[in-house]
Each structure stands twice: as C-alpha cells, then as structure tokens.
A and B are shown apart, each in its own frame.
Chain A
C-alpha cells in the first residue's frame, strides 16, 4: 500500500513533535491531536493512517519524552525515514514499535511523494518518481525488538 510523505528539515526536536504543554497524558491518540502543533499546525488534521515522515539529520533530538513517538503512532504514521536519528528518540521508537529507517534519501524524497516500503527487501519504492532506494536493515537485536512489537512484548516473551 502506498503512503504519502510528510517532509521535515534537520534537527526536528521532540518539542516540535509534541510541545511540552500537552504532556499531561501519555495517550498516543490524544497526543496526536497536537503533533507538530507549533511548526505545522495542519499536520494533525491532514495526516492519514499509514503516512510516512521524511527528515534530515538528527530527527527527534532534545527531550526524552516517549510522548513524541507515541504521538506519531497515534497519528497513524507508519514509519519515519531520516538521515540520522537522535539516540533517545531512536530507542523509544524501537521500544514501542514505531519503525524507523536510517537512510540517506533526504534529497530524493519530496513532500507528498507516494512511497511503499518493504522492510523485508530493505527497499523504499517512490511511485511518484519511479525510483527505488535501498536501506540497510536494523541491527539484529533491534529488529528482534521491533518484530516482537516492542520492548514490553519482548520482555514478556523472555518469561
């Protein structure tokens, strides 16, 4: 299924993803109503289930608030593709089951491109431009976490 991309810049911090004044709930759906409220107020309204975020370097920098990936999941975001991720955001996302792709495709993908992602094949297909981009899989341990559905199901499985 193809998804639409939302393109952001570099150093998108977690205050942009979910401003601190909304941190009185941990509920992803409720948080999603305020995602990017200060920098892209139309996002929360227009985002569709399955949409993909594309960003440059250091996506998710700043605060450790897990509310940021929770808000993105709540908004229906199926994957974030960035040139690099801030460390805590990266861990949080993997730990709660939000797929991330670290790939140098920032200049290839434009806002609104229709993309389809195959994690098995490690390929992003850009239907709008008729292009394909390969990406390296996550380290084995992190893929295992993600496949389990996140850290909690993973720990539960360990008994």
Chain B
C-alpha cells in the first residue's frame, strides 16, 4: 500500500517516473542559469507553471547581484511570467509560495532552491532541484523523479515550554544524522504534529533537506484547509497514506524528552540542549524561510518586550515576507524589536547564506533561526553559526550567550 510520496508521484518506491509538475519556482540565484538553459531548448514557456521570486540578493547587494536581478527581471518580462515577485511585493520564495496559494495538498512542486521541501507541511510533494531541471520543467512541464522510500516519524506527548517545531526537527536530525534520510521521503505523524500550528509544521518540513530528505510531508488537516481558504490557486485534492503503507523505517519520539535545542557548528545534526551551552555570541538572527513567520516574531517579541539586546550583541530581525512585515507592524511587534535595539529590515535571504545584511567576521558567533550552520555559511570561514528556535535567539540576544529561555 502506498505512502504519500508514492501516491503523489504515482509510482512504487524505487521506480523512475516522469511526471507533470504543478509549479516550478526559481529565485535570483538559480533563475538566471535556468532561463539561459531554457533558451538552449528553444521551446515555448509554460508560463502558468513558473514562479519567479527575487529574494536572495535583493535589494541588490552589489553590482554583480544587481546585474543578476536585472537579468532575471528581463527574462520574466520576455516570457510573460505573471507569477513574478519583485521586492516589496513578495519576500523569501518559500514563504511566498505558501502565502500566495501555490503550495497545496497533493501537488507536485519543484523549486530551484533546496528548501522547496517546505510545502510538505501543506501535504504537497515538493522538492529542490537544480537550474537545469527547472529549465526542463519550464519547457516541458515535466520532470523525472525516482520515487523515494518513506520514513515515518511519530511525535507524541506534550511539548515542553519554549519548544517549537524547530526543536522537534533539530532533535530528529540530531538522532538520524545529516544523511539519515538520504534519497528518502519523510512523513510526520503523532499528537504533537497534529496540535502544531502550520508555521511550526513548515519549519519541520523546511529542514527535511538537512537530513538529506527529498520531501518532508505532513498529512494535511483542517488547519491547512482553513489557511488555504481564499488564497489557494485552483483546486486541490488532499492525499493521505494508506493505513498499511510500506514504510522503510518508523521512528517514535516522546515530546517530553525534547527541550530547546541548538545545533552547534558545522552540521545541523550536531545538536545539544540550549541549557548545556556556555557560548557567548556576537549576533542573533531572527528570520528566514525556516523561522521568519509572524508566529516566530510573536514568540521572540514576547521575550524581548521591555528588554534590551545585550550591548555586545547585534540582533537582526528579517520577516520572511512583506505580508508578515506589515502584520508585525500592525501587531506592534516591530516596535518591540526596535525599542529593544534590534535592527529590522525587509524580507530577504541575504544573511542566512552569508550574502549580506548580517555577514559575520572571523571569530564571530551567531545564534540563528536559520537552517544551516556549515563552515562559513554566514560569512568568514572562521565564523560560527548556532541554529536555534526564535525563543532561544531572543533570550540569547538579551543575555549575550546562548540561553534557554526558561532561564530568564
């Protein structure tokens, strides 16, 4: 009997299939090479399937990125891409794909960005591809896939205070390792997952790739359907696994054993409870497709309200989309951040991948709500990134060292 991956890809695990995709997304880094390759093919553009989001190095960080963004803009115009997101209108591509109703249950979506797996939180099979594959899909609407085997993750019990989706996925990656799901699909179940809001679920699906997974899927429920009501494009059909699906492995976790968790440099599986660390920080970063949603900002603002960021720390807050930015202003969150002496800027991926707006110098350490802590990920090769949830980042910004918020 079939898993969600097998049903959406309509094939048995191990088979290589060619399938029609619902959407193909590219950003300013991967988009230009994709359009160049597309032009080599000399075919008509499947405009309705293509989504173009300027997010990595915009607003332009330098002349080279300005040229790149300009080239992408020109390609989008030339091929009449109506799903085009300029700065000020969109934000971080995955948040845009979700907010603007592209991602929906049962859909097959590819994106030339590894965190495309985020839409698994809405019950889609979505996965990251390269620019050449994106180009092929722009031209043919189709792509080849190897149907993956599926691992089942069950998280039951009660969540501890300040434990978020981030801690659940870091805990799992810490357990199975950064290649623990290589070539595989993940499915998430259990009372904890059911009780989680969509934002935390997106964090979990977002980081499926950090264990090497092809997709990280959560069966869609009323929370997803309500979210999509009024925003989804077209119709969709939820897909669920059969009761006796053939899972390659089943992992069970008791939520009460999960605490605010930090992944130390230089891999996301290098996890440790935040409370066990004695690490001073230079920067605290709140943002990204992993944890830059309104729910994340609320958690951080609740901790920072009436407090000040430590004088030895720079705190940077980057809402993941323009929509979230507006909502955060309306809710008074941005004023809380500003009064706490945090720096707040518009949506961009910039800092997360060491681009700009938060690059680290040699020897500097950043506690960050992002998804990767590789060597030099946020800047100098001798800088360090510690991955954590928004509550840990906010608490750490106040104390100047990595802090479990329960300590405050």
Residue positions of A touching B, CB distance < 8 A: 11, 13, 15-16, 19-21, 23-26, 38-39, 57-58, 61-67, 69-70, 84, 86-88, 91-92, 95-96, 139, 141, 150-152, 155-156
Query: Does any Cβ of A come within 8 Å of B190's Cβ?
Result: no
> In the complex, are the beta carbons of B37 and A87 less than 8 A apart?
no
Q: A25–B63 Cα gap in the complex (Å)?
A: 12
Q: Which of B130, B354, B376 has the most CB of A within 10 A?
A: B130
Residue positions of B touching A, CB distance < 8 A: 16, 29-30, 32-33, 36-37, 40-41, 56-57, 62, 64-65, 67-68, 111-114, 116, 127-133, 135-136, 139-140, 144, 178-179, 182-183, 209, 212, 214, 267, 353-355, 372, 374-377, 381
> In the complex, are the beta carbons of A87 and B30 less than 8 A apart?
no
> In the complex, are the beta carbons of B178 and A152 less than 8 A apart?
no
> In the complex, are the beta carbons of B65 and A58 less than 8 A apart?
no
- Find chain B residues with CB under 8 A from A155 CB: 41, 136, 139-140
- Find chain B residues with CB under 8 A from A16 CB: 374-376
- Find chain A residues with CB under 8 A from B354 CB: 15, 19-21
Q: A91–B16 Cα gap in the complex (Å)?
A: 13
Q: Which of B33, B376, B381 meets A26, CB within 8 Å?
A: B33
> In the complex, are the beta carbons of A63 and B114 less than 8 A apart?
yes
- Find chain B residues with CB under 8 A from A58 CB: 178-179, 182, 212
In the complex, which residue of chain B has the Cβ closest to the Cβ of A142? B16
Q: Which of B40, B112, B372 meets A152, CB within 8 Å?
A: B40
> In the complex, are the beta carbons of B372 and A15 less than 8 A apart?
yes
Q: Which of A38, A70, A152 meets B136, CB within 8 Å?
A: A152
In the complex, which residue of chain B has the Cβ closest to the Cβ of A59? B179
> In the complex, are the beta carbons of A62 and B374 less than 8 A apart?
yes
Q: Which of A11, A21, A151 has the most CB of B within 10 A?
A: A21
Question: Total A-B residue pairs with C-beta atoms closer than 8 Å?
Answer: 130
> In the complex, are the beta carbons of A23 and B182 less than 8 A apart?
no
- Find chain B residues with CB under 8 A from A62 CB: 114, 209, 372, 374
Q: A98–B381 Cα gap in the complex (Å)?
A: 27
> In the complex, are the beta carbons of B128 and A64 less than 8 A apart?
yes
Q: Which of B41, B139, B178, B212 meets A87, CB within 8 Å?
A: B212
Q: A120–B114 Cα gap in the complex (Å)?
A: 33
Q: Which of A24, A84, A88 meets B114, CB within 8 Å?
A: A88
> In the complex, are the beta carbons of A38 and B376 less than 8 A apart?
yes
Closest Cβ of chain B: how far from A111's Cβ, in Å? Answer: 19
- Find chain B residues with CB under 8 A from A25 CB: 64, 68
- Find chain A residues with CB under 8 A from B16 CB: 139, 141
- Find chain B residues with CB under 8 A from A64 CB: 30, 111-114, 116, 128-130
Which 4 residue pairs are nearest across A and B when measured between Cβ atoms?
A: A26-B33, A66-B130, A24-B64, A92-B130
- Find chain B residues with CB under 8 A from A13 CB: 372, 374-375
Q: A67–B56 Cα gap in the complex (Å)?
A: 15
> In the complex, are the beta carbons of B355 and A65 less than 8 A apart?
no
In the complex, which residue of chain B has the Cβ closest to the Cβ of A19? B376
Q: A24–B374 Cα gap in the complex (Å)?
A: 20
- Find chain A residues with CB under 8 A from B139 CB: 155
> In the complex, are the beta carbons of B132 and A92 less than 8 A apart?
yes
In the complex, which residue of chain A has the Cβ closest to the Cβ of B356? A21
Sample (21) of A-B pairs whose CB atoms are under 8 Å apart? A11-B267, A21-B355, A23-B57, A24-B57, A24-B67, A26-B36, A58-B178, A58-B212, A62-B209, A63-B372, A64-B113, A64-B128, A65-B30, A66-B112, A67-B29, A86-B212, A87-B182, A88-B130, A150-B132, A152-B135, A155-B139
Q: Which of A20, A70, A139 meets B355, CB within 8 Å?
A: A20
Q: A121–B29 Cα gap in the complex (Å)?
A: 39
> In the complex, are the beta carbons of B132 and A61 less than 8 A apart?
no
Q: A23–B376 Cα gap in the complex (Å)?
A: 15
Closest Cβ of chain A: how far from B128's Cβ, in Å? Answer: 4
Q: A91–B133 Cα gap in the complex (Å)?
A: 9
Q: A156–B136 Cα gap in the complex (Å)?
A: 10
Q: A58–B176 Cα gap in the complex (Å)?
A: 13
Q: A87–B212 Cα gap in the complex (Å)?
A: 7
In the complex, which residue of chain B has the Cβ closest to the Cβ of A85? B182
Q: A136–B258 Cα gap in the complex (Å)?
A: 41
Q: Which of A19, A23, A84, A86 has the most CB of B within 10 A?
A: A23
Q: A45–B214 Cα gap in the complex (Å)?
A: 35
Q: Which of A19, A66, A70, A84 meets B182, CB within 8 Å?
A: A84
Q: Which of B33, B136, B179, B374 meets A15, CB within 8 Å?
A: B374
Q: Which of A21, A26, A86, A139 meets B131, CB within 8 Å?
A: A26
> In the complex, are the beta carbons of B355 and A95 less than 8 A apart?
no
- Find chain A residues with CB under 8 A from B377 CB: 15, 20
With contacts A20-B355, A87-B182 taken as known, whether A151 is within 8 angstroms of B212 at the C-beta atoms is no
Closest Cβ of chain B: how far from A132's Cβ, in Å? Answer: 27
Q: A84–B183 Cα gap in the complex (Å)?
A: 10
- Find chain B residues with CB under 8 A from A92 CB: 129-130, 132-133
Q: A65–B57 Cα gap in the complex (Å)?
A: 14
